[in-house]
Chains A and B, each alone.
Chain A
């Protein structure tokens, strides 16, 4: 069953044929540039360009993408509002002192800082969503193996990955069964129902673990785990596009730093 896991979206995204290394380089590179940028220009540009890439190249449903961005954006708007109101400096547009020793104000500096924080949140989220929506975990396992993640840790990660979907299925079934019999209708009762759900899930996961051991035994487990081969080779075309993208954004970053430092290198 599909419970709207991002993983399931990533499994069918339009960039599945691009090597995970290239996608990770773009995502992590963009994230680094967002953090390095002293102005709002580069982060917003990254948010815009990666957003377009996710929608047009990876062919992610725009509604899903908007939905995904909505939650962190709401959080960002609230915290940026606090940052803008509490900090000061520069020309004051508006000020209010409700109690002595505590003032709220809108100033040029606070607005600039707010804009920077907001653009960084947006740019950073876009970079992370770019990775999450284009690179499924099954591809990341291969990357992790190449990056010499200890095999025991990697095997455990893969077991957990597999179990998440089985357990989420069971939790969803118990939850549905509870709701059909009118659980979660009153606050006190909801606490009890939630406790029951947790208990049932715990027992289910325990049994699942025992079954896993049995299945591994029946299939001659000897501490080894097969690994997939690379999903897609690094293609020159993809690499060139990714490198060009990161270089253009880096150049822009350099230009903004140059301008921000008053025409001279900081």
Chain B
């Protein structure tokens, strides 16, 4: 198990008005974990998050970051805030500067980075969130999703170990939410520990490694999402709803149609469970192949040639760079989020697909497919597209 990066020991906080916001919470977050704080409005989610980077100081109890108790002198707080990146719910409240470049550079400049390094980290951060070329744009001319990305880039530019996001998808349209969650996934793959607050259970359920249910300043339940969201009584008390997939699974079991294996987290899991339970012996034909293409290593012409001989193949893109390249090459994408799962679904149905991606994500596709195949006892091939 990885080391503990953040720990709360019986933390309590009361607002000056006299409202008890946090009434004794203890939990910990390990390095590389994805944790969702889930609860209704007023449960204390935002208050708790604001303690992680020292914006609020608990009245009693201790917070530890990297096994050190938080210290509240100016120098320690600066270092803490560099390592704990906080993304506010409303990006308009976080974006300070008149242009995208200046805003993303805000943290690095104040950390005293030399000019050359500022330019590099800002460039990297903007590339990570897919906002290359937006440097000179004023924030008020951006869409809500783009503003959210600017806010995230501004935090990424300081290279934090822990990312804290308050309701990251609350003001976004569905496509914007999916993009943001996909970005979270990329950042997680890049080694960031992520804590987010939300009351969107459908969003938290497949994403989180662990869910912490809050109610009225207390922890109601803390477990893997399948368990945390699986207890209707707890979920009702937390003023949430059971994720649709989990509800479906439970209702099927109640009707005497128990599905084998673990509880499904995604449609892919569900489909596979159903197929296993009812087709007795599984599919007859072979599974489809999942092709992976690293857009940084395969030129647009080679990709076009490759595609020309495979008409009607399903195409998905993972990551902002791959999506940009697809747009440039006028490649119509069938899947833009949950891409691996959707391609696995197609593969189970005997159809082949292509995933466009970049960097270390190629290995990730292979790992995910192998893990899936191992878990469910199927054989699905992953092939990397190589220049002919």
Binding site for B on A (CB under 8 A): 7-8, 11, 136-138, 141, 158-159, 161-162, 165-166, 169, 208, 211-212, 214-228, 231
Contacts and interface: CB of A to CB of B under 8 A. Distances in A.
Contact of A211 (B78, B81, B82, B93): B93
Contacts of A208: 93
Interface residues of B, number: 37
Interface in B80-99: 81-82, 86, 88, 92-99
Interface stretch (B1-9, B23-31, B100-108, B279-287): B100-108
Contacts of B92: 166
Nearest to A7: B138
A226 B105 contact: yes
A166 B140 contact: yes
A236 B139 CA distance: 32
A224 B115 CA distance: 12
B140 A220 contact: no
15 contacts: A7-B138, A136-B138, A159-B96, A165-B138, A166-B140, A214-B55, A219-B155, A221-B106, A222-B111, A224-B109, A225-B102, A226-B106, A226-B108, A228-B136, A231-B136
A8 B142 CA distance: 12
Contact of B110 (A8, A166, A220): A220
Most A CB contacts (10 A, CB to CB) among B78, B105, B109, B122 go to B109
Given A8-B141, A138-B138, A231-B136, A162 B98 contact: yes
Contacts of B94: 215, 218-219
Nearest to A221: B110
Given A214-B55, A220-B110, A220-B111, A225 B136 contact: no
B81 A219 contact: yes
Nearest to A157: B98
Interface in B124-162: 135-141, 154-155, 158
B86 A220 contact: no
A113 B211 CA distance: 79
Contacts of B102: 158, 225-228
Nearest to B79: A220
Given A162-B96, A218-B53, A219-B110, A228 B88 contact: no
B18 interface: no
Given A165-B140, A166-B140, A225-B109, A219 B96 contact: yes
Contacts of A227: 102
A219 B107 contact: yes
Nearest to A159: B96
Instruction: State the main secondary structure of chain A at its contact with B.
Output: helix
A226 B136 CA distance: 13
B112 interface: yes
Nearest to B78: A220
Contacts of A166: 92, 140
A215 B138 contact: no
Given A138-B138, A161-B98, A162-B96, 14 more contacts: A158-B97, A158-B102, A159-B96, A165-B140, A212-B93, A218-B86, A218-B94, A219-B106, A220-B78, A222-B111, A224-B109, A227-B102, A228-B102, A228-B136
Nearest to B91: A215
B141 A11 contact: yes
Given A225-B102, A228-B136, A231-B136, A162 B112 contact: no
B97 to A, nearest CB: 6
B292 interface: no
B118 interface: yes
Contact of B101 (A161, A218, A223, A228): A228
Most A CB contacts (10 A, CB to CB) among B98, B108, B137 go to B98
Contacts of B122: 226
Most B CB contacts (10 A, CB to CB) among A158, A165, A220, A223 go to A220
Contacts of A212: 93, 96
Contacts of A159: 96
A20 to B, nearest CB: 12
A222 B118 CA distance: 15
A249 B88 CA distance: 54
Enumerate the 8 nearest inter-chain pairs by beta-carbon distance, A residue then B residue, closest first.
Answer: A226-B105, A165-B140, A222-B110, A211-B93, A226-B109, A226-B102, A220-B110, A219-B107
Contacts of A11: 137-138, 141
Contacts of A225: 97, 102, 106, 109
